[in-house]
Amino acid sequence: MTDASRELQDRMRALPAVHELLDRLDVTRVGREVGTNAARTTIEVARQAILAGTNAPVDLASLAMHAQQSLEQASGPPLRPVINATGIIIHTGLGRSAMSERAGDAIRAVACGAAPVELDVASGKRGKRADVVRDLLKELTGAESGTVVNNCAAALLITLSTLARGKRVLVSRSELVEIGGSFRLPEVIENGGARLREVGTTNRVRVGDFERAIDDQAAAILRVHASNYRIEGFTEEAALEDLVALGGEHDLPVIHDIGSGLLRPSTLSVLASEPDARTSIEAGADLVLFSGDKLLGGPQAGIIVGRRMLIEQIERNPLMRALRVDKLTLGGLGVTLQLHRDPDLASREIPAMRAIGRTVEELRTRAEQLAARLSLFGTVASAEVVETVSYVGGGSNPAQAIESVGVALRVSSMCEDEFARKLRVGEPGVFGRIERGCVVIDLCAVEPSDDGRLEECIGSAP
């Protein structure tokens, strides 16, 4: 036997047994089974390292440290908060709207205990789930009633299934939208048990086109906000008021899917072309549908407001059971709606509104400070303040860009893709975007209170 193979054998023999390593681990948070698996994996990795001829330390103390680290990682929540430095304020891949602290507190308050979601507190009798937020929805949108389901796609599904099952829904050819891979209007209509009747042409649709499409199979007129694209040039669109008048003549409900969830017209110029629920209700739409986690800034939800009779019909649909929201959603949505009673309060407390309202000067000052501090880290090759273009996202305002400022980073030790990956897997993870060989940290959607953490994460990533 050569010296080398004897040494290898000695190192193998010195490896601890699984139970020895397990005894060294604190497994209170994960349990014995997970601990045993971690010990076994750690020993196996060490065995492979020895066979590969590396000098990695394989003594009991080192292995215990390794195994404990992997247990700590595995025992943290699988979904953890990250910093959104992408410049997309409402980023679907990052969980859409950040909620206000108040909404977060309300969710936490009901999460671990009981909350009367379907019981009327005064009478103790059975109530409807949406009763918790119904009055607020009425007050804020001017509608006769309102209800809540899981998301806006679900709102459309249950609305069509209630009003148009087995019949036809009239939709303008300019509005047959796809909003993120899984929401394609023709398919949602089909899933709601209705059939699509396309009206007009892609660029021009007049109210007369709708009128000609009405027959005894027609059950509803649907208008969908073109939230993620824009048709420009030689275009014409039927006014909502005209569709309402037409619907009235033929006894067809007009449904308006506005998508993004503004409750009233916004004073912010970036949101000037966003439809809002109050205006649609005032124009006479019978039902208005929108998301809870886009511009509204609440939890994922689909909100339906409009005529009381129609809302009652929708709430009686058996699909309601499959699409209903839980106490967490109701808790967060209720508080979010309360904030919207005062537009100033909403723009101060709702993170997306704060982000949209940030000035370029404010962002530049923060970017300059961040860049200066990052330049001090030896690992950062260059940190340059750059003007960037941000977007509201979440399917709002496709054409409207927001001026923003960021820091473009280069590191000497790795390429931009690897650096971006390191940032994403950090604690907390940082999601930037890659542009011209740099990782750009866009500050628009980052809360100023996160700037310190951002600096630490970036400085320690390479």
Is position 302 an interface residue for ligand PLP (rule: CB under 6 A)? yes
**Shortest Cβ distance from residue 37 to ligand PLP (Å)?**
38
d(CA 378, CA 459): 9
Sequence-ordered alpha helix ranges (H) in 24-169: 32-51, 60-75, 101-111, 131-141, 152-163
Structure tokens, 370: 């961040």
Task: List the beta bridge partners of residue 204.
Answer: 236
List the 438-442 sheet strands across, edge first: 88-90, 380-393, 402-411, 438-442, 433-435
Among 40, 183, 433, 447, binds ligand PLP (CB under 6 A): 183
Tracing tokens 């009239």 back to the chain, one arrives at: 170
Q: Does 461 bind ligand PLP (CB under 6 A)?
A: no
For 38, list phi and psi in degrees, rounded to 5: -65, -40
Rounded Cα–Cα distance for residues 192 and 156 (Å):
8
**Pick 351 or 395: Cβ nearer ligand PLP:** 395
- Binding residue for ligand PLP, selected from 35, 395, 406, 432, defined by CB under 6 A: 395
Between 280 and 291, whose beta carbon lies closer to ligand PLP?
291
The token pair that represents 334 in the structure block: 């209720």
- The answer to whether the CB of 433 falls within 8 A of the CB of 442 is yes
Complex with ligand PLP: residue 209 or 257, whichever CB lies closer: 257
Nearer of residues 302 and 432 to ligand PLP, judged by Cβ: 302
- Per DSSP, 17 falls in state P
Closest contact distance (angstroms) between CB of 334 and ligand PLP is 18
Q: Which stretch binds ligand PLP (CB under 6 A): 12-20, 151-159, 239-247, 416-424?
A: 151-159
| DSSP conformation letters of 381-402 | EEEEEEEEEEEEETTB-SS--E
| Closer to ligand PLP by Cβ: residue 168 or 225 | 225
227 binds ligand PLP per the rule CB under 6 A: yes
Candidate residues 200, 247, 259, 406; the one interacting with ligand PLP per rule CB under 6 A: 259
Distance (Å, whole) CA 431 – CA 145: 40
Nearer to ligand PLP, 283 or 386 (CB): 283
Select the residue whose beta carbon is closest to ligand PLP and give its number: 259
Cα–Cα nearest to 57, from 1, 19, 16, 17 = 16
Contact range with ligand PLP by CB under 6 A, out of 238-246, 256-264, 416-424, 436-444: 256-264
Judged by CB under 6 A, does residue 393 bind ligand PLP?
A: no
Which one-letter amino acid corresponds to residue 97? S
Q: If binding is defined by CB under 6 A, does position 224 make contact with ligand PLP?
A: yes
CA distances for 157 relative to 103, 257, 294, angstroms: 27, 11, 19
222 makes contact with ligand PLP (CB under 6 A): no
Answer for which of 225, 340, 354, 373 binds ligand PLP (CB under 6 A) is: 225
Which residues inside 50-109 make contact with ligand PLP, applying CB under 6 A? none
Residue 147 interacts with ligand PLP (CB under 6 A)? no
- For residues 151 and 388, which CB has a smaller minimum distance to ligand PLP in the complex? 151
Provide, rounded to whole angstroms, the least separation between the CB of residue 398 and ligand PLP.
10
Binding segment for ligand PLP (CB under 6 A), chosen from 27-35, 120-128, 165-173, 221-229, is 221-229
Binds ligand PLP by CB under 6 A, chosen from 152, 252, 254, 445: 152
- Contacting range for ligand PLP; rule: CB under 6 A; set: 62-70, 194-202, 254-262, 377-385: 254-262
Which residues does 37 contact at the CB level (< 8 Å), separation at least 6? none
What distance in Å separates the CA atoms of residue 118 and residue 124, rounded to the nearest whole number?
10
Q: Is 354 helix (H, G, I), strand (E, B) or coil?
A: helix
Q: Which is nearer to ligand PLP, 293 or 455 (CB)?
A: 293
* Cβ within 8 Å of residue 386, ≥6 positions away: 367, 405, 406, 407, 408, 440
- Interaction pattern, residues 266-295, with ligand PLP; x per rule: CB under 6 A: -------------------------x----
- Which one, 247 or 302, has the nearer CB to ligand PLP? 302
Alpha-carbon distance of 216 to 308, in angstroms, equals: 25
User: Would you tell me which residues interact with ligand PLP (CB under 6 A)?
Assistant: 151-153, 179, 183, 224-225, 227, 257, 259-260, 291, 302, 395
